[in-house]
Structure 1
Amino acid sequence: MNGTARVRIATLLPGLSGRGVLLAAPIDAERVRRTLAGSGFAVAEVAGPAAGLREAQAAIARALRLPETAGRNLDALVDSLRDLATWWPDAERVVLLWPGAEQLVEGDLPGFLELTEILRGASDDLWRGGGPGDRQFETVAFVRRHGVRALGEAPA
């Protein structure tokens, strides 16, 4: 990143909760997409909801253009995310948008927690201060219900 400052998504979109993996209401999807693309993020988007860990893992790997093995093996997913610069050579800021994430929350909560921990870890590992090869990577998981409020919505 050649010394470029890190810009956290939560700074651009106050009201999203989380770090590395942020939760957003589906109603805000277009606003989130527009804001992040306009702020220099390359946007990768998971296609379709997944109710199981392996299905979601494969969809995440496809969205991020990772090797096929990353969609089947959690260790390969971790390794491929560490090499995000290989798969996104021209993008210093990458965001993964994950619509329908509540399907995994409701269908396989342990699977959701495992995947979000891997994604959060990648977010932390890929940024070492803005040097060559660093990538800013965060995920926005769109979750209906489960206490996730729309942007600008006051707490209950």
Structure 2
Amino acid sequence: MRVATLVPGLAGRGVLLAAPDDAERVRRALVDGGFAVAEVAGPAAGLREAQAAIARALRLPETAGRNLDALVDSLRDLATWWPDDERVALLWPGAEELVEGDLPGFLTLTEILRAATDDLWRGGGPGDRQFETVAFVRRHGVRALGDA
């Protein structure tokens, strides 16, 4: 089941955008829907800082926090880092800090996360993982679910 099915009104695919006011509602829906939830700790205004925070949240190797190729490879091996969880959701509060501080960096990371979403599920075979990201963004046209 996709995150957008559990939380109708979120914008995007693979990386969904949500208003920060909806964070607890989104978290609760994901947990109730059977997702393991990883949460990025704190906002980051630069690519490398955000990359490292994402790698830490997902329990990826340290190199994934410093090297984009290592991040891509580690995400492909998500089953190694989350062996007991077929559904993993990454919650990214404060994502607007990166949007405002380094838009190209935000686009790079969201493309990597979106590609991981597409690559990780191949129909439910061994090692498949359903993986999606919810980036909480204040402003920039992201509306609260009650406003949608």
Q: Same fold (TM over 0.5)?
A: yes
Alignment equivalent of 1:89, drawn from 75, 83, 87: 83
Partners of 1:45 and 1:98 within 8 A in 2: yes
The residue that corresponds to 1:135 in the other structure is: 129
The residue that corresponds to 1:31 in the other structure is: 25
Alignment equivalent of 1:108, drawn from 102, 112, 122: 102
Superposition map of 1:1-156 within 5 A: 7-154=1-148
- Unaligned 5+ residue runs, structure 2? none
Work out the CA distance in 1 between the residues paired with 2:67 and 2:108. 13
Q: In structure 2, give the amino acid aligned to 1:142.
A: F
TM-score, structure 2 normalization: 0.99
> Deviation of residue 152 (structure 1)?
2.7
How big is the alpha-carbon RMSD for the aligned residues of Structure 1 and Structure 2?
0.5
Q: In structure 1, give the amino acid aligned to 2:76.
A: R
Work out the CA distance in 2 between the residues paired with 1:27 and 1:120. 23
SS in structure 2 at match of 1:66: coil
TM-score, structure 1 normalization: 0.94
SS in structure 1 at match of 2:79: helix
Q: Deviations over 1:97-137 (max 9, x none)?
A: 00000000000000000000000000000000111110000
Q: Deviations over 1:26-72 (max 9, x none)?
A: 00000000010111100000000000000000000000000000000
Moved over 4 A (4+): none
Q: In structure 2, give the amino acid aligned to 1:14.
A: P
The count of residues paired between Structure 1 and Structure 2 equals: 148
- Unaligned 5+ residue runs, structure 1? 1-6
Work out the CA distance in 2 between the residues paired with 1:83 and 1:152. 36
Identity %: 89
Once structures 1 and 2 are overlaid, which stretch shifts more, 123-132 or 103-112? 123-132
Partners of 1:127 and 1:134 within 8 A in 2: yes
Q: In structure 2, give the amino acid aligned to 1:110.
A: P
The residue that corresponds to 1:4 in the other structure is: none
Work out the CA distance in 2 between the residues paired with 1:147 and 1:83. 34
